Amino acid sequence: MMHADFYIPTHLFFGENALNKGKDMLTAAGRHAMLVTGKQSARKSGALADVTALLKDAAITYTVFDGITENPPLLTCFEAGRLAAKEGAQFVIGIGGGSPLDAAKAIAAFAANPSLSPEDIFDDKKRINPALPIFAVPTTAGTGSEVNNYSVLTLPSGLQKKTFKAPDSWPRAAFVDPRYTATMSNDTTLSTALDAFAHAMESYLSPRSTLFSENAALFAAREIFDVISALPTTYDAEMRARLALAATAGGMAISVTGTGFPHPLGYSLTLLDGIPHGRACAVFAGDYITYNEKSESGRARIANFAAAIGAKPAVLKAFLPGVAGVSLSMTDDEIAQHVELIAGAKNYANSPYVISKEEIFEIYRAHFKTK
Ligand code: NAP
Ligand code: FE
């Protein structure tokens, strides 16, 4: 029986002037907004100025919180949530890469539930009030956070990530204007594209995929591979538009399925070794293909996926980790630390072949054991 369920309660506005197309949704959301950004990119990309101009036009006041760092810390979101409540924010707009967008979702929940402790956010029974309405203005083309309800937060130890996901943490609207991605460096452009590709591949292989998530995933993978396999030295407006739409499609695909094992394995490289999220996931893309080819259904799915994007599985196995360009060396103890921190992730069950902890060790050893 064909699985074809699909649910995305986010209104997507795509293209030049996306904010203008959807501005009525923003201005109807309340009289005071909390704008959530990182240090620079919301300003540099022009997205913050476009949002504030629109709010001023509608006589809506706002507070800017620009303290979101990469891999947003739970405690920063907690503090920003308190500030949002104190300032009387009635809605939250995340502007930036996945970090500010994910943070906006947590901030919207904390602001509406002032009695929560930081860790309580993960407890569905403790979040009593509905989150403030959330809006998303991405400035990277990677995470797809603008069209899903995941908020990947860094726990206070700084060593582990945990995903917060609630029925009310979907953005009400996503304003995807590819022009905001033009200020990204080539490095960040490639890394975020690799993240979106990982979403597409991991979603396509997930046992939870449906007709619509699979087609979104194949569209995303095809577009991204087409752009990045040429190893461009500059990204023109058309390439940026293709990557932005593909990343959003990838975000829709994982909203249905979740991600597979490259994601948790990558989290350890990001938090312990400072490798950007997309590159960190791409390191394990070849392993993901190889292990899934061990199962019959995985092999068939990989073959379909590769055929749909016009590249042989062997090419993907070499290209993705190669272009990630990550070279690290670790002792056995360091490898053990990486593995222990991600041992409890739920992602392992989410692919045709379910890897064991021993196999995760093997994968890390094969990549990094040189000490
Ligand atoms: P990011 O962490 O939001 O940003 C990375 C860097 O890129 C920052 O230095 C940022 O600057 C800069 N940047 C962003 N937009 C820019 C622009 N237009 N021009 C110049 N620089 C720009 O990167 P990301 O890869 O988009 O997000 C990664 C996070 O999302 C991770 O925490 C990951 O776990 C999470 N994630 C979430 C999902 C989901 O489904 N929700 C999926 C995958 C990953 P500023 O600091 O100045 O903003
Ligand atoms: Fe990701």
Residue 349's pLDDT band (cuts 50, 70, 90):
very high
Residue 141 CB-half CA count within 13 A: 37
Q: Point out the ligand nearest to the CA of residue 144.
A: 1
**Average pLDDT value for residue range 150-170:** 98
Asked whether the beta carbons of 192 and 184 are under 8 A apart, the reply is yes
pLDDT at 316 over 80: yes
284 Cα to the center of ligand 1, angstroms: 20
The DSSP letter of residue 350 is S
Q: pLDDT tens digits, residue range 182-238?
A: 999 999 999 999 999 999 999 999 999 999 999 999 999 999 999 999 999 999 999
Element (H, E) at 202: helix 186-205
Q: Which two tokens stand for residue 106?
A: 């947590």
Residue 55 CB-half CA count within 13 A: 21
Distance CA 357, CA 342 (A): 10
**Average pLDDT value for residue range 250-279:** 98
Check the CA dihedral 208-210-214-220 and report its sign.
Answer: negative
For residue 33, list its beta bridge partners: 62, 91
pLDDT at 80: 98
Q: Point out the ligand nearest to the CA of residue 74.
A: 1
292 Cα to the center of ligand 2, angstroms: 19
Nearest-CA residue for atom 28 of ligand 1 = 98
> What average pLDDT does the chain have?
97
Ligand 1: atom nearest CA of 276 is: 25
- Give me the domains of the chain, ranges plus CATH numbers: 11-180 (3.40.50.1970), 185-368 (1.20.1090.10)
- For ligand 1, mutation pick of 10, 140, 240, 271 (most atoms within 8 Å of CB): 140
Task: Give ligand 1 pocket residues (Cβ under 6 A).
Answer: 38-41, 44-45, 70-71, 96-99, 102, 139-140, 142-145, 148, 150, 152, 180-181, 183-184, 188, 192, 195, 251, 254, 277-278
371 Cα to the center of ligand 1, angstroms: 32
pLDDT at 3: 92
pLDDT at 62: 98
Distance CA 41, CA 38 (A): 7
pLDDT at 104: 99
Q: Is 337 exposed, middle or buried (0-12, 13-18, 19+ CB in 10 A)?
A: middle
The DSSP letter of residue 181 is G
271 Cα to the center of ligand 2, angstroms: 14
Ligand 1: atom nearest CA of 38 is: 48
